[in-house]
Structure 1
Amino acid sequence: MQPLHRRRKEKGRGGGRGDQFDPSQRPGGTTLSYRPCGKKSDPAGLLENENEQLQQQLRETVDENGRLHKVLKERDFEIKQLHKKIEEERLALLGTSGVPGDVAATKIVELAKQNRHMTAEVEKEKTKVKQLNNRIKELEKEAATATFPGDRFANLGTFPGRNLSGDRFCESPEMKALQEKLTAANFKVSEFRNQLQTTKQELKMTQKLLANEVGEDVNIQNLLSTPGTWRGRAQQILILQGKVRDLENQLGHSRSRLSESSTEEEAVSLADSRKTSASKKNLQRIRSLEKEKKEALEKLSGEHNTLLKDYEELKQKLDGSKARNKVLSHEVKTLKEQISTLLDKGKHDDELVDALLSQQKEMQAILKNLSQQDERTKESHQNLEQQLSVEVQKQNCLIEQLKQMVAEREARVKELEEEVQQFTSQVNQIGSLNTTEIIASTLVIFASASSLVYRGSLLPPFPTQVLFFFFFFLLFRIVEPDNLDMKTVKIQIAEYKALGQAAEAERGKLIEMVNILQKRVDDSTTKVWEADKKLQEQQRRYIALEQQFEHLKTESGKNSATGLASTAQPHNSTRLDWNVGERSGPPSAQRSEVPLESQIEELSTRLAIQMDENESLKMALQDSAKTKEEDFRLYQETVGQVKDIFLQALRQQKQDRT
């Protein structure tokens, strides 16, 4: 029995391992099917969703496997309990256990005691009923004497008590109480009678069982008084009776032989009575024959005993072989059931292999689509990197130009400061000259200033206007009779201050623009770095998913290899086709075999990817437009500030002039 239990446990473990990916063993019959997400355009999102679904299904299969293991353990425990019960029943039938016999004897004794007690109670109740009946009769007589006259008293015996007593007799409380007691007593008597009948039936059943077990005409008290067990004595008695019959037959044969020999000896003695010597010899021969017969009888009795022992041993062996045959038949039944379960499991495994093959084909198609999407994303990333590099180069060129402009403006400011110093020295020299010399010197100053102004083309036209205004104002002041040298110097200083303020304002705005451009360059570099990082992460995920797919592919190949031999050839052919498809791409026939739903989903994913790319390009265009608007606004602000500075200077000159 122990090796059978071990085999069952091993088979249960093997079945638990084989059922880990069995979709039919799960509630609801869920299979490992791919559910494509048409709404999500990101390939990483699709792969994450697929991975989550597979993990959830794997958890469900693990939970189902644990439940099946628990059910198997419970079934093994039930089988062990049944085997124990069968062994106990077999031992009870063989008569090895004496406990049930003692229990039956004690039960019989208890039932006998209950029967005696019940009979005693019944007798008590009968006596009570008799007393109550006598009391009722006496009361009826008393009531009759009280109600009826003397001439009718002779006919009382013909009428029942209730009719004679009338309404007054029924209305008496004593009679009511007695009637209630009588009904209760009758009810108890009926109950006790029923109990007596049931106990009698049980006693009859137990007596029949004892008669079948012990034999008829056997005293139970003697059985209880004798020590040891008495179960199976009828069988022993039958065996002993058979042995006694065999021995009696053997003794009859031996006696018949002895009688025959004795008759022969008597005839010989009568025939040879005259020959005493011959009779003596015959007597000696007879004695020797008797000895030989006795020895033969002893030998036969020994052989008989040995044969009886052999018979008992053979009987025991036959009983053991019968029990063994029963056990083997039970094992054959269990093995047939296991074979049927294994065949069903093989069918389920074949279905699982087919489902896994179809799912693997779908996964290959998905991987091809994802590889194409990755290539497209790589191309889009490369285009974006090229655009960003071009924009960065443009911005670097603008920064360099602005730096050159700032350097030129600073050099121009220095030159103007030097010119202002020269003008101040010339104005001081003009103060000591007359009008003609002053006019000539102013013309020279104006010419030099105009040459300085038009020497650089980057300055705005406002300083030239201011210089013209300053020239006419200086001529006007020189022509005036009340001309003073200090006023001209102040005007000239104010002009140069205005020029310096305008240059400083332009310089500040240009520096601000340079900082803004530098920030844009930094932002673009960070974006490029983040895009590279995301691309590397996507590549890593793609590689990990490819490895997982290869692992699943190898596992499915192993599972299909462990299947039936009939299903091995198409599995190998499908593997070859897949390897060829991975190396050279799917042929047109396989593409035509793809269903329309998958093609529509693929086109929807492509369209979503294109929409995302268009949105990203729109965002890039909007960002570039915003940057251009900001640059234009900064240019306008610089021009406005310069205008305000020159207008303020002109107003101040007008005020000074007035």
Structure 2
Amino acid sequence: MSLVVETKRVSAKMELGPAPPPRHKAPLALPEFDDSDSDDDSHALEDIPPVIETSSNNQSDFKWDGISDIQMLKHQNAELVAAIKSQKQQINELQLLLEAMEPVPGLDVDSFKDILQGSEIVDHDIRNVKIVHQAKKLRQATLAYNKEKSRVAAASAKMAELERAVEAAQTLQGKAERALQRLQQLPRPEAAKKVPSPEKEIAASKKLEELKLKCEAQAVELKRTQRALQREVGDDIALSEILDASDSGKRGRAQQIVMLKAKIKKLERANPSPLDAPRDVDRKAEDDLAATKLERQKQIDKLLDDSNALRESHEKLQKKYDSTKARLHVFEKDASKSKVKISVLLEKSKNDDLLIDRLQSELEAKKPGPSSRARTADSKPLDANELEALKLLCKDQKRQVEIHPTCYELMQ
């Protein structure tokens, strides 16, 4: 389902009455107008300089017959000023009309003109009246906000500059006082004490007086700036709270305006009216943006949870890897020790093999043959102790022979 929004722009025809041309070519002083809705036109009319200036030196050359011409020129100048003022008012009304009709398609231009001018006493549509009044209030609030913002910025900049100047003057004064104290504390010879130099003392005193005057002027200027800033923010607000806004949490006018605008939007959403119908598309877009933002926040939270889980698993695997690496290192040390022991055992087995071979040869040599036994009838039999020792030796040799294959397998 597609939503088609038709936007119509209403062009207002501005009819300004032409000003009559002046009869005499005389310099006319016209006031300068701004685009604000303030009531400064009366001050502008009061500040109009005279059309013709007379000097005291040319009183003798003054012609009294030209007084009527001067009065006529003044009257013509006043008429021109009034015409410009009325045209300026018409321009402001038409600007308000354009601002009121731009976001609302299909409105009647003449009805808005009647509401702005108030020429006819008729029952206007309450919605049109409310739109016009809201446009006026919005324009006035915007202009007032811009003026206050520029004034506060200028006052803050000027105050900061004056504070820096005061600090610099105080620093210079402190340096001068310290230098004067050091000069006074320096030991002087007797000749210098007897013959002081008045020129240096006079120059130092002059410099000190100049610094004092400069410091006093800066202090006076700082007080004036503080008074101006106090008038801008109001007497019920302490100036120290504004200067220390970061510490005290005091809100300025800009923040208060933003908060009030947010509160107005909240109240408009809580109490919808028929005038809010053109803003349905904006509200829908805002809701879509809020839903998208919420979904994105959920995705970010999910990604953060996954990242934390992966980080924890990585830490566990890292710990397991470190423990396995340490265990492998211990096993390598044990294996190296076992290799050394096996090499020693093999060396010992070689020696044992040599000893076994030697003992076997000796045993074969000691065994008598059958002929010799038959011939020697009186030969003595073997002792029981010797026979037991030989049996033990044979058992030990058999055990070592059985151990040798196992040692070879471990070496391989």
User: Higher RCO, 1 or 2 (CA under 8 Å, sep at least 6)?
Assistant: 1
Larger Rg: 1
Task: Provide TM-score, normalisation by structure 2.
Answer: 0.27
